[in-house]
Amino acid sequence: MATRTDSSRLYEDICRAYGTDKLHGHQEYVPNDVLESMVTANSICNELCRKPKGWVFEALFAEGARRNITERVLCSDSRKVFLVLVLLDLSWDMEKLLDAGLTDSDLPLVKDGHIFKSESDSSRKFTLPKEWSSQIVDQFLDKQWRVLAPVFSASGGHRTFDPRHPLPFEKINDNHKIGARSVVYHAQIRRSHWKASKVSFFFLRILFRQRLICQTESPSCEVILKEFLNRYKEDFEAERENLVSIRLLENNEHITQYLETFSQGDRSYIIFPIAKGGDLEDFWETHRSETRNPRLALWCLEQMRGLAEGLQVLHDFLKQNANCRHGDLKPGNILHFLTNGSDGTLKIADFGISRIHNEATFQRQGKPTTTKSTTPSYEAPEASSDKARSRKYDIWSMGCIFLEFTVWLVHGWEAVQQFNSARTSKTPRQGEGTSWAHFYQGTGATAVVHPEVFQTLAKLKCVPQSAPGTALGELLDTVENHMLKVDVDARFTACQLSNSLGDIVSKARSDGTYLFNCG
């Protein structure tokens, strides 16, 4: 093979600008922004000016020929193909690949006997230069992966990547969360590998609220990456099915949407937007010293109303054809998304164990829905029995959250922790030595609301801010009489809860004393 008599500046510049796939820890790739900025008309012409030893330079690389090849590379969208040749020091063979019709969209190529096919379109077949040895062909097939890092978006789609595909995750936080069947990472996608998809207007609005569409001043996009091993493939598929269904919901800013899913090798992943404010428990802890005033009280009430509205949308979606519930509501699954100039928005998240099923099918087969909650502290009493669980299971869990929210607003974070400790008791069905801070005692037919819940409600009613006749007082009345009820039928529906909180918020906005009575 002919070789260059001088070094390639473009090659050296590209090598210095390689990105590294931090998810896998070693794979290097050429980022799209590097490709755009470095593989230009000038750099292509300069690369073609380099004299190939033993070739008739003047005849093959006259200025007109170089300009023609450059224009063809740019007009046919073949810069990635050209860059692969630069990495192999074979850029003078670009004209042959252009004549063969090879473009960036045909990559990666796969070998099929003596023919090379586009992996994405097997009808696209090519013959590589006959002068290339088997070693050069293998090097081309290997180097092509360096220009094929994918672009992620909020499309909601699923893709399967070859293990050789580098992924454009610039940073993976070491402080990842390890669950029973998945690992959750805080990651950064390189900005040039994230784009806003052509999705419905309401979804774009959701994304802008969450500050996920990359701004020009932002060098990268922060996301949450949830990883499943293949032995838990069924869990991944179940969660993805839930998330895809939830994307059909009408616009509701209090429900977190996923961005995209993908599989690679023995792992599958879900990409979520990141909540810079953490979860609701993080909010309570980090804002423990925040001044309690009418503004904060109104924001809290508005967020609780929003969560109730989100739950109503979730329960009512697909009209009467499906019974959908979350199944694992807890402060850790309420995320705090920060926005400029406001206190942010709380959103329901983590639909990993949400159960969406055809109600008629279960009625016909006589089977109760028995999906287990993963957070016993917030589970409803029916979780300890074989009773069928309806959407009102979520109402109990939300009642637990609203009660703790009120404790925090009136007394602070330490009071929430004390309330949690006071409820902690042995739970026989979980095994000796296992304790959970349930909001009820007993199991099955003997279950009753935990005495500490009644004591906490009574104490809150004695405080001016949450006394009867105030906004928080009426919220507590809703929690006590329509949410934390062992009898499932006595609980509000999500629609009733949403309407009740809507009335409270509406009155609180116009009556300062009702909103926050300082005594």
CA nearest to 129, candidates 164, 81, 165: 81
Under the banding of pLDDT at 50, 70 and 90, the label for residue 197 is: low
- DSSP β-bridge partners for residue 20: 28
| Contact present, 254 and 498 (Cβ < 8 Å) | no
Cβ neighbours of residue 22 under 8 Å, at least 6 residues apart? 169, 170, 171, 172, 187
Tokens of 328: 């694992």
pTM, entire model: 0.80
Give dist(CA 405, CA 329) in Å, integer: 14
Q: Is 367 exposed, middle or buried (0-12, 13-18, 19+ CB in 10 A)?
A: exposed
State how far the alpha carbon of 232 is from the alpha carbons of 59, 158, 270, 333, 493, in Å: 61, 17, 13, 21, 34
Check residue 369 and give its pLDDT. Answer: 45
Check residue 336 and give its pLDDT. Answer: 94
CA nearest to 464, candidates 299, 297, 288: 297
Tokens of 21: 């796939």
| Contact present, 78 and 102 (Cβ < 8 Å) | yes
DSSP letter at 279 equals: B
- CATH no. of 152-273: 3.30.200.20
pLDDT tens digits, residue range 52-80?
Answer: 555 555 555 577 888 999 999 999 999 99
Lowest-confidence segment of 147-156, 169-178, 353-362, 482-491 by average pLDDT = 353-362
| Contact present, 309 and 497 (Cβ < 8 Å) | no
Per-residue pLDDT at 159 exceeds 90? yes
Tokens of 231: 């032995």
Task: State the span(s) of the chain assigned CATH 3.30.200.20.
Answer: 152-273
CA nearest to 197, candidates 132, 274, 260: 260
Check residue 37 and give its pLDDT. Answer: 96
Give dist(CA 324, CA 306) in Å, integer: 18
Task: State the span(s) of the chain assigned CATH 1.10.510.10.
Answer: 280-515
Give dist(CA 280, CA 346) in Å, integer: 8
Per-residue pLDDT at 27 exceeds 60? yes
Lowest-confidence segment of 251-260, 344-353, 458-467, 500-509 by average pLDDT = 344-353
Average pLDDT on 272-282 reads: 91
Check residue 276 and give its pLDDT. Answer: 87
Please state whether the peptide bond connecting residue 108 to the residue before it is cis, i.e. omega within 30 degrees of 0. yes
Give dist(CA 170, CA 360) in Å, integer: 47
CA nearest to 465, candidates 405, 407, 410, 403: 410
Check residue 361 and give its pLDDT. Answer: 30
CA nearest to 93, candidates 108, 82, 80: 82
Per-residue pLDDT at 374 exceeds 50? no
Side-chain-side CA neighbours of residue 477 (13 Å): 12
Ranges of beta strands (E only) in 333-399 are 334-337, 345-348, 355-357
Give dist(CA 389, CA 375) in Å, integer: 15
- CATH no. of 280-515: 1.10.510.10
Under the banding of pLDDT at 50, 70 and 90, the label for residue 230 is: confident
Residue carrying the six token digits 């990409």: 271
Lowest-confidence segment of 344-353, 363-372, 415-424 by average pLDDT = 363-372
